[in-house]
């Protein structure tokens, strides 16, 4: 008879078997349910798969159109009418087919529409890199997604993508799928399909392309806009081309020697002007950048937005014309590039932008393509926005503003005499442009005539840190180093700035201390004409009014600047009050002229991309461009006269311009930390005092 212990064992075993059977039944039910659900999903979504020939049909999208401010001048269309020519697979070179496969789906001919290994590999790579940089989609999935689905990242879309990919693989051959894909995939510049891309970028039939050109086309599939051969990321495109050649080598498609030779081949792209002509290219690219970031490429290419920009086409075309006509003259003076920006200081709207003299031109000299830093002229580099250049004396108004805000007046006298500002072993003895010294001069004379010695002294009196802080308030963002880094040469343009920010900063003076954020766009409408975004920027008061008026009064005083520039310089406009300032770096590598009225602020830069010196200063190179442009601008935007500043009398006679014998520097009478306070008891305590006194003595008794 079984023992009680044995009975308990049998009972437990039976109980375990029952649980196991129950678990298996549940698993089978779950499996059947999942299988049935998948079957239903296939039935539901499989019906949506179009006939295979649908892949060869042209799809029509509504382009996003970018207009000038009037809405009458079309500047550019984003993904307008697609350029596409269908070609059979047998006409597409094997080199290109293989390059696309190794770049996009190495296991294409072996999987069933999905590539589990590729998905796992992508996930592991993403985890390793800490971002979603890798994709696991097969060519079949990409074809389905680009043809019939959106880019929205939802579970439903992914389910559709998987099911349709599996169904497509069941219906048609691999070669047919590859043919569909190569005729469907976008390559940028409105090109869809390999034939259109080949004719656009290389001006040849797809059957005639070389292996390096095939690798270029395969590279573009990953990011057509970013890797455009006409954009700023050409180096990234060439690097990906070499990566694909390495992949072809790894798959034994190429021999190592051939692969290395193919990497060295220079790719000749068709001129960009023939690819995608558009008006105001540098301005439009800034608008496109905003639109891409905020709306996305797919949305822009399909939804027919109308973008009304701030651009004044009359002024833009005039600016381009003037710069084009000045090319020969400036090249004579070894200046091979020019840039111009104009904006409305009262609302921040950019009215004209020429980032370089010819967006569609060729780099000069051509051999510098290898190292762009050696180019005198790089056509598609936007100097106005991206070029950090030294402004020369064009920086002085910010220092003078700081001084006026601190209590100095336009009558305050500084000595324009030879002075060694160096402390310790290092000498610093700046010169005026004409190598002359004028003795005692007012701040009005010093700024209007762009005298260097008094300006260096004024920076010392105003404070380097304080002047940098004021420049930041004006909107200058590039001067990020410490005051010690810049030192006293800051007032002569010792820091790097951009033309756009400088022109906007001068506009703050025109607006008497009000600053408005810059804008490129007025409004955006959908295809129904409804406004979906409008750009109205509110001006903010950031600076005191009277110091602005003092600067405006000085920079528009033609008689005061005449001793240096002459009565009829490019800065003078007989019928209008125009404030203007030139700037030239010490080695003549940068030539500036920036000026403004109450209604428009314009900045012009002339020079070379590689910082090679020119042969003339800013007033000679940039001045004529500024003058011709402003003549046109003043007709369209007639200004009001500047408001006269309040003349404030200070208690200290020296601040009011009174000097008497025996002559001393201003440090004898004031403390730079508090110019309106009591005179210093021991002025010699100031480290610059004896040096400034010595300069005056040498000037009086040479």
Contacts of 253 (CB under 8 A, 6+ apart): 98, 102
Residue range 292-308: mean pLDDT, rounded: 85
The phi, psi pair for 132, rounded to 5°, reads -95, 70
pLDDT digits (tens, 9 = 90+) for 413-436: 999 999 999 987 789 999 998 999
pLDDT digits (tens, 9 = 90+) for 476-488: 999 999 999 999 9
Q: Is pLDDT above 70 for 213?
A: yes
Residue range 219-239: mean pLDDT, rounded: 90
Q: Indicate the pLDDT class of residue 129, thresholds 50, 70 and 90.
A: very low
What's the confidence (pLDDT) of residue 695? 95
pLDDT digits (tens, 9 = 90+) for 626-658: 999 999 999 999 999 999 999 888 989 999 999
Q: What are the residue ranges spanned by the domains of the chain?
A: 55-64+81-275, 390-497+649-702
Tell me yes or no: is domain 55-64+81-275 CATH 1.10.10.10: no
Q: Indicate the pLDDT class of residue 231, thresholds 50, 70 and 90.
A: confident
The phi, psi pair for 352, rounded to 5°, reads -155, 145
Residue range 578-582: mean pLDDT, rounded: 98
Average per-residue pLDDT in the chain? 88
Phi-psi region of 481 (alpha: psi -120 to 50; beta: other; left: phi over 0): beta
Q: Is pLDDT above 70 for 514?
A: yes
Residue range 222-237: mean pLDDT, rounded: 89
User: Which two structure tokens, joined as six digits, stand for 445?
Assistant: 């004379």
Quick one: what percent of the chain has pLDDT higher than 90? 64
Asked if the domains at 55-64+81-275 and 390-497+649-702 fall in one CATH topology, the answer is no
Residue range 229-248: mean pLDDT, rounded: 92
What's the confidence (pLDDT) of residue 164? 75
Quick one: what percent of the chain has pLDDT higher than 70? 85
Q: Is pLDDT above 50 for 133?
A: no
Residue among 447, 454, 463, 462 at smallest CA distance from 415: 454
Q: Indicate the pLDDT class of residue 271, thresholds 50, 70 and 90.
A: confident
What's the confidence (pLDDT) of residue 566? 94
Positive/negative CA dihedral, 435, 438, 443, 447: negative
User: Which two structure tokens, joined as six digits, stand for 642?
Assistant: 């500047």
Q: Crossing angle of helices 155-171/174-184, nearest 10°?
A: 130
What's the confidence (pLDDT) of residue 648? 86
pLDDT digits (tens, 9 = 90+) for 65-102: 899 999 999 898 776 456 667 889 999 999 999 999 99
β-partners of residue 34 are none
Q: Is pLDDT above 60 for 122?
A: no
pLDDT digits (tens, 9 = 90+) for 328-380: 999 999 999 999 999 999 999 999 999 999 998 888 887 786 666 788 998 98
* Strand residue runs (E) in 115-261: 186-188, 191-192
CATH topology of domain 390-497+649-702: Beta-lactamase (3.40.710)
What's the confidence (pLDDT) of residue 112? 75
What's the confidence (pLDDT) of residue 60? 44
Q: Indicate the pLDDT class of residue 183, thresholds 50, 70 and 90.
A: confident
pLDDT digits (tens, 9 = 90+) for 517-559: 999 999 999 988 899 999 988 999 999 999 999 999 999 999 9
What's the confidence (pLDDT) of residue 304? 80
What's the confidence (pLDDT) of residue 409? 96
Positive/negative CA dihedral, 173, 179, 183, 186: positive
Q: Indicate the pLDDT class of residue 662, thresholds 50, 70 and 90.
A: very high
Residue range 207-235: mean pLDDT, rounded: 92
Tell me the HSE value of 318 on the side-chain side, using a 13 A CA sphere. 21
Q: Is pLDDT above 50 for 132?
A: no
Alpha helices (runs of H) in 280-326, residue ranges in sequence order: 281-295, 297-302, 313-325
């Amino acid at each position: 008879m079984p023992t009680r212990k044995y009975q308990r064992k049998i009972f437990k075993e039976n109980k375990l078997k029952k649980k196991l059977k129950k678990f298996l039944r549940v698993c089978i039910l779950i499996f059947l349910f999942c299988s049935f659900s998948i079957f239903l999903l296939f039935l539901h979504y499989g019906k949506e798969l179009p006939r295979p020939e649908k892949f060869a049909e042209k799809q029509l999208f509504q382009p996003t159109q970018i207009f000038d401010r009037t809405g009458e001048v079309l500047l550019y269309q984003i993904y307008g009418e697609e350029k596409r020519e269908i070609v059979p697979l047998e006409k597409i070179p094997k080199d290109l087919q293989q390059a696309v496969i190794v770049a996009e789906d190495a296991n294409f001919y072996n999987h069933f529409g999905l590539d589990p290994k590729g998905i796992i590999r992508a996930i592991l790579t993403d985890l390793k890199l800490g971002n979603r940089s890798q994709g696991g989609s097969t060519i079949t999935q990409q074809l389905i997604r680009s043809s019939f689905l959106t880019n929205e990242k939802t579970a439903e879309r992914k389910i559709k993508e998987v099911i349709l990919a599996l169904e497509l693989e069941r219906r048609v051959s691999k070669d047919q799928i590859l043919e569909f894909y190569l005729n469907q995939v976008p390559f940028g510049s409105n090109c869809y399909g390999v034939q259109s891309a080949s004719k656009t970028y290389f001006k040849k039939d797809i059957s005639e392309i070389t292996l390096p050109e095939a690798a270029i086309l395969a590279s573009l599939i990953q990011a057509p806009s970013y890797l455009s051969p006409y954009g700023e990321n050409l180096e990234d495109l060439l690097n990906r081309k070499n990566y694909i050649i390495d992949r072809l080598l790894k798959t034994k498609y190429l021999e190592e020697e051939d692969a290395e030779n193919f990497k060295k081949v220079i790719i000749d792209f068709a001129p960009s002007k023939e690819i995608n002509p558009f008006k105001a290219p540098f301005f439009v690219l800034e608008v496109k950048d905003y639109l891409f970031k905020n709306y996305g490429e797919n949305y822009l290419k399909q939804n027919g937005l109308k973008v009304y920009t701030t651009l004044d086409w009359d002024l833009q075309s005039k600016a381009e014309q003037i710069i084009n006509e000045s090319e020969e003259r400036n090249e004579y003076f070894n200046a091979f590039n020019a840039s111009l920006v104009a904006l409305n200081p009262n609302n921040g709207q950019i009215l004209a932008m020429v980032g370089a003299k010819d967006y569609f031109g060729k780099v000069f000299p051509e051999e510098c393509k290898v190292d762009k830093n050696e180019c005198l002229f790089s056509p598609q580099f936007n100097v106005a926005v991206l070029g950090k250049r030294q402004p020369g004396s064009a920086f002085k108004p910010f220092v003078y503003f700081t001084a006026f805000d601190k209590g100095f007046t336009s009558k305050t006298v500084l000595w324009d005499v030879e002075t060694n500002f160096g402390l310790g072993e290092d000498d610093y003895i700046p010169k005026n442009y004409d190598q002359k010294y004028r003795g005692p001069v007012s701040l009005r004379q010093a700024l209007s005539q762009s005298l260097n010695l008094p300006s260096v002294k004024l920076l010392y009196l105003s404070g380097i840190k304080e002047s940098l802080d004021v420049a930041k308030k004006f909107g200058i963002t590039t001067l990020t180093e410490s005051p010690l880094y810049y030192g006293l040469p800051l007032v002569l343009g010792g820091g790097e700035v951009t033309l756009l920010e400088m022109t906007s900063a001068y506009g703050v003076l025109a607006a008497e201390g009000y600053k408005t954020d810059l804008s490129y766009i007025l409004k955006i409408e959908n295809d129904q004409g409804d406004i979906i975004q409008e750009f109205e920027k509110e001006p903010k008061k950031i600076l005191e009014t009277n110091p602005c008026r003092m600067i405006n009064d000085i920079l528009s005083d033609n008689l005061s600047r005449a001793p240096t520039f002459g009565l009829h310089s490019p800065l003078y406009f007989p019928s209008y009050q125009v404030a203007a300032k030139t700037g030239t770096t010490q080695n003549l590598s940068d030539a500036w002229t920036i000026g403004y009225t109450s209604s428009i602020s314009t900045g012009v830069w002339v020079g070379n991309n590689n910082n090679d010196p020119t042969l003339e200063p800013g007033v000679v190179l940039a001045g004529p461009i500024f003058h011709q442009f402003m003549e046109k601008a003043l007709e369209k935007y007639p200004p009001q006269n500047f408001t006269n500043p309040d003349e404030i009398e200070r208690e200290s006679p020296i601040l009011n311009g009174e000097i008497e014998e025996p002559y001393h520097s201003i440090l004898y009478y004031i403390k730079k930390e508090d110019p309106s306070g009591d005179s210093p008891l021991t002025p010699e305590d100031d480290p610059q005092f004896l040096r400034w006194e010595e300069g005056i003595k040498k000037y009086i008794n040479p």
